[in-house]
A and B are shown apart, each in its own frame.
Chain A
Amino acid sequence: MEDKKLVEVQHLKEYFPVKGERPFERKYVKAVDDISFYIRKGETFGLVGESGCGKTTAGRTILRLYEPTSGKIFYDGKDITHVNMLPYRRKMQIVFQDPYASLDPRMTVGDIIGEAIDIHHLATNAKERRDRIVELLSLVGLNTEHANRYPHEFSGGQRQRVGIARALAVDPEFIVCDEPVSALDVSIQAQVVNMFEELQERLGLTYLFIAHNLSVVKHISSRIGVMYLGKMMELADSYELTFHSVHPYTRSLISAIPIADPKAARAAHRIVLKGDVPSPVDPPSGCRFRTRCPYADELCAAEEPDWREVSPGHFAACHHLDRVKDEKPVTD
Chain B
Amino acid sequence: MSENLVDIHNEKLSFFTPAGEVKALNDVSLYVRPGEILGIVGESGSGKSVTAYSLMGLTAHPGRLTGGDIYFNSHHINRMTEKEMRRIRGNEVSIIFQDPMTSLNPVYTIGNQIREVILLHTKRTKKQANERACELLRLVGINEPEKRMKQYPHEFSGGMRQRVMIAIALACEPKLLIADEPTTALDVTIQAQILELMMSLKEKLDMSIIIITHDLGVVAGMCDRIAVMYAGKVVECGTTDEIFYQPSHEYTKGLLRSIPNLYEREHKKLVPIQGLPVDLLDLPEGCPFATRCPNCMKVCMKHMPEYTYLNDSHYSACWLLDKEKFMKKQRGALT
Contacts and interface: CB of A to CB of B under 8 A. Distances in A.
A276 B186 CA distance: 11
Contacts of A218: 260, 262
Interface string A190-232: 1101100100000000000000101110110000000000000
B196 A260 contact: no
B267 interface: yes
Interface stretch (B58-66, B100-108, B272-280, B315-323): B272-280
B260 A187 contact: no
A262 to B, nearest CB: 5
Most A-side CB within 10 Å, residue of B220, B262, B274: B262
B172 interface: no
A56 interface: no
Nearest to B263: A331
A185 B214 contact: yes
A197 B220 CA distance: 28
B187 A258 contact: no
A312 B122 CA distance: 64
Interface in B37-77: 43-44
A323 interface: no
B218 A258 contact: yes
Interface string B249-274: 00000111111111111010111111
A186 B259 CA distance: 7
A261 B187 contact: no
A191 B270 CA distance: 8
Contact of B221 (A186, A254, A258, A273): A258
Interface in A311-332: 331
Contact of A185 (B189, B218, B261, B277): B277
A262 B262 CA distance: 14
Interface string B150-166: 00000001011000000
A80 B196 CA distance: 47
B43 A262 contact: no
A212 B220 contact: no
Contacts of B214: 185-186
Contacts of B159: 276
B216 interface: yes
Contact of B160 (A215, A262, A276): A276
Interface residues of B, number: 46
Interface in B165-191: 187-191
Contacts of A257: 188, 217, 262
A51 interface: yes
Interface string B272-303: 11101100000000000000000000000000
B216 A185 contact: no
A223 to B, nearest CB: 14
B225 to A, nearest CB: 11
A256 B272 CA distance: 25
Contacts of A276: 157, 159-160, 190
B273 A256 contact: no
A265 B196 CA distance: 13
B192 interface: yes
Interface in A109-161: 155, 157-158
Contacts of A155: 276-277
B193 interface: yes
B244 interface: yes
Given A190-B271, A219-B270, A262-B244, A254 B262 contact: yes
Given A190-B272, A215-B259, A258-B191, 7 more contacts: A185-B277, A218-B262, A239-B265, A255-B192, A259-B217, A261-B220, A265-B221
Interface of B: 43-44, 157, 159-160, 187-193, 195-196, 214-218, 220-221, 240-241, 244-245, 254-265, 267, 269-274, 276-277
Q: Which 7 A-B pairs have the closest CB atoms?
A: A258-B217, A190-B272, A190-B258, A219-B260, A265-B221, A50-B187, A187-B273
